[in-house]
């Protein structure tokens, strides 16, 4: 190499090292993001899943003013009940939003004392429903996913009386058909 190129090469080398040094400083000066909080543990709900097994009339409302009317409408649906059955893993079999098949769901609680029904995992997930109220006879559930809540509304389940879903057998007496006697000629 010629002597005239050496200072330019040395200057370029120093500039590259200086640039790398500044790049390292720039990355260390960026604010560090706080670690994500650990998911809330799944606690037992305020009632066991087995308390929900049975036949339920089902209806829904979108406005709180329609709640009482919807509870009565749900009770009228016991002729074609929604069946909540035991799940294979000590949960209950119910439908998730937009699912044709039922899933094994659990009743779970959180530290704030709220109860949810949904797939196993942290309480309050997007597939969960929050228990608004449950008195043993009427169960009211709100979807956690706002989009699903907007489509389906707040679900009202009213426990059906035993055997209310079966059609009542009505025995009718057969009318006696009287055939006219042939006329004598």
pLDDT, tens digit (0-9, with 9 covering 90-100), for 145-185? 999 999 999 999 999 988 654 544 444 555 666 777 777 76
Mean pLDDT of 15-41: 59
CA within 13 Å, CB half, 5: 2
Single pTM value for the model: 0.66
Q: For position 124, what pLDDT does the model report?
A: 92
Give the mean pLDDT of 95-112.
93
pLDDT band at 42 (very low <50, low <70, confident <90, very high): low
pLDDT at position 106, please? 94
pLDDT at 185: 64
* pLDDT exceeds cutoff 60 at 3: no
| Strand residues in 19-160 grouped as ranges (E) | 43-44, 54-61, 82-86, 92-95, 102-109, 115-118, 129-134, 138-143, 154-159
Residue 101 pLDDT > 80: yes
Lowest mean pLDDT among 20-24, 83-87, 166-170: 166-170
Question: What is the pLDDT, as a whole number, of residue 46?
Answer: 78
Please give the Cα distance from 117 to 131 (Å, whole number): 7
User: Do the bridges between strand 43-44 and strand 102-109 make them parallel or antiparallel, or are there none, so unpaired?
Assistant: antiparallel
Choice between 10 and 66, residue whose per-residue pLDDT is larger = 66
State the alpha helices, DSSP H only, in the chain. 5-28, 67-75, 146-152
Taking Cα atoms as reference points, which of 122, 150, 136 lies closest to residue 61?
150
Classify 51 as helix, strand or coil: helix
pLDDT of residue 17: 59
Please give the pLDDT value at position 120: 93
Backbone angles phi, psi at 117, to 5 degrees: -125, 125
């Amino acid at each position: 190499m010629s002597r005239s190129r050496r200072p330019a090469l040395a200057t370029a080398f120093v500039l590259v090292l200086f640039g790398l040094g500044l790049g390292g400083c720039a990355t260390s000066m960026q604010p560090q993001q706080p670690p994500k909080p650990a998911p809330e543990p799944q606690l037992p709900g305020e009632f066991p899943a087995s308390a929900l097994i049975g036949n339920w009339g089902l209806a829904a409302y979108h406005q709180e003013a329609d709640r009482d009317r919807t509870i009565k409408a749900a009770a009228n649906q016991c002729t074609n009940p929604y069946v909540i059955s035991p799940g294979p893993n000590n949960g209950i079999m119910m439908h998730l939003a937009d699912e044709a098949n039922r899933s094994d769901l659990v009743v779970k609680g959180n530290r704030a004392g709220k109860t949810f029904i949904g797939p196993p995992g942290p309480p309050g997930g997007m597939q969960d429903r929050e228990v608004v109220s449950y008195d043993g006879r009427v169960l009211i559930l709100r979807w956690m996913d706002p989009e699903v809540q907007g489509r389906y509304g707040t679900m009202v389940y009213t426990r059906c009386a035993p055997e209310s879903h079966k059609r009542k057998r009505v025995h009718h007496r057969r009318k006696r058909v009287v055939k006219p006697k042939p006329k004598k000629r």
